[in-house]
Amino acid sequence: MSEHRLFVALPLPDQTKKLIGEYQANLQTQIKWIPRDNLHITLAFIGETSFERISGINSVLKKVSDSFPIFSLTINNIRAVKGSSGMIWVTFEENQFYTSLAISLREKLNLNEKRKPLPHINLARLKKPTYREPLSEDPKFEAHTIHFTKIELWKSALTPTGAEYKVISSFPLKLNGDHSH
């Protein structure tokens, strides 16, 4: 029985990926950038999962996506995050729809995650965790709003060159108006 490393994600539109790519291109080399096609916002990390469980996970995602509306998140910062290895994140204004969606997924997928959901895009890992590049004051990022119309189940495979991601399934959010905040 093979295991798959799974998570539920919000895919990013090409316009946002382009904006982030331009930002990445302007920073220095002590950073291991996340490839543009791998950029996403994690809603729920599932972890190592057998192939046989994927259809059950898809059923949960369908039920949840049918009950949550399309929503938006607005970027509020790009910042270095301390941890075992430093990272650079794009962070967002607090949003109750994101929080409710993430908590609902955690509960319905029986995930044991107690931390408050924090929407973010991991842009990079810092090769030297002590390294702190001044982060963007780029006005292109100010109040950049992203509209989310679907959730996706992604698979990640860890390779010597980094993680490789693949979308397994996609589920549209409910079309009953945009709930930006």
Structurally, at CATH architecture level, domain 3-175 sits in Alpha-Beta Complex (3.90)
Q: Annotated catalytic residue: which of 40, 147, 179, 181?
A: 40
Containing 87, the helix (H) or strand (E) segment is: strand 87-92
Whether residue 79 contacts residue 90, with contact meaning beta carbons closer than 8 Å, is answered with no
137: confidence class by pLDDT, cuts 50, 70, 90 = low
Question: How far is C-alpha 15 from the geometric centre of its chain's CA atoms?
Answer: 16
pTM for this model (two decimals): 0.78
Please indicate whether residue 40 is annotated as part of the active site. Answer: yes
**Tens digit of pLDDT for each residue in 73-117?**
998 888 877 765 678 888 999 999 999 999 999 999 999 888 999
Most distant pair of Cα atoms in the chain: their distance: 49
Please indicate whether residue 144 is annotated as part of the active site. Answer: no
Task: Delimit the domains of the chain by residue range.
Answer: 3-175
Whether residue 148 contacts residue 69, with contact meaning beta carbons closer than 8 Å, is answered with no
Predicted confidence at residue 181, as pLDDT, reads: 46
47: left (phi over 0), alpha (psi -120 to 50) or beta: left
Q: Annotated catalytic residue: which of 4, 120, 144, 147?
A: 120
| Higher-confidence position of 123 and 82 | 123
